[in-house]
Amino acid sequence: MTDYQPLTRTDLLSLEAYAEQRAAFRSRAIAHKRQRSVALGEHMTLMFEDRLTVQYQIQEMLRIERIFEPDAIQEELDTYNPLISDRTSLKATLLIEFADPAVRALRLAEWRGIEDRLYFQVGTGARHYAIADADMDRSNETKTSAVHFLDFAVNEDLLGALRAGDPVQLGVDDARYPRQVTLTAEQCRQLAAA
């Protein structure tokens, strides 16, 4: 894993340059995101963030909102830079997905707090639970959010397993949606390179 290197304005393309390069940049970013995504069943996906995924998000926000003022660009950088993984933690965006809005509303009400039950496990070792939404609470008394930001602390066991391609499980420790998947060798390689 690399040292934390926040994005700066010099890492970003101007609106004009991004418009010219968007198709190629978008294609590269989406392919990269696919390699860093982990499906937990059909209703949860984790997207492990890094500099490229965050840069893509910022570039798209600047494009959509037509942001070009330096202070506004810095505000976007300040908002999204904390999502970049580093030597001490893997950062992920959790998406809870249901196509039907009525079913989604029902599940989000039923699954309140489930974001606190996601974990990494190396082999048969202890489960290491993510810290959800450290920046702000996205759940309330009646429901959880469809999007959460997770922070998985990295220890030497996890880092070594990711680098060696040893079995690493990602799961949901909750009777409402129990899931566990073993990361592929490519997913481990991607996360080790965060």
pLDDT in tens, 140-183: 788 999 999 999 988 777 888 888 878 899 999 999 999 999 99
Band (pLDDT 50/70/90 cuts) for residue 8 is very high
Q: Does some domain include residue 77? A: yes
Residue-level pLDDT at 179: 97
pTM summary value: 0.88
Contact 62, 68 (CB under 8 A): yes
Question: Mean per-residue pLDDT for 5-28?
Answer: 96
Q: Does some domain include residue 130? A: yes
**For residue range 81-135, what is the model confidence (pLDDT) as tens digits?**
999 988 788 999 999 999 999 999 999 999 999 999 999 998 888 899 999 987 7
Q: Does some domain include residue 165? A: yes
End-to-end CA distance of the chain: 5
185, with CB counted inside 10 A (0-12, 13-18, 19+), is exposed
Domain count, the chain: 1
Beta bridge partners of 92: 48, 150
Q: Does some domain include residue 79? A: yes
Q: Which domain holds residue 66?
A: 9-192
Residue-level pLDDT at 18: 96
Band (pLDDT 50/70/90 cuts) for residue 2 is low
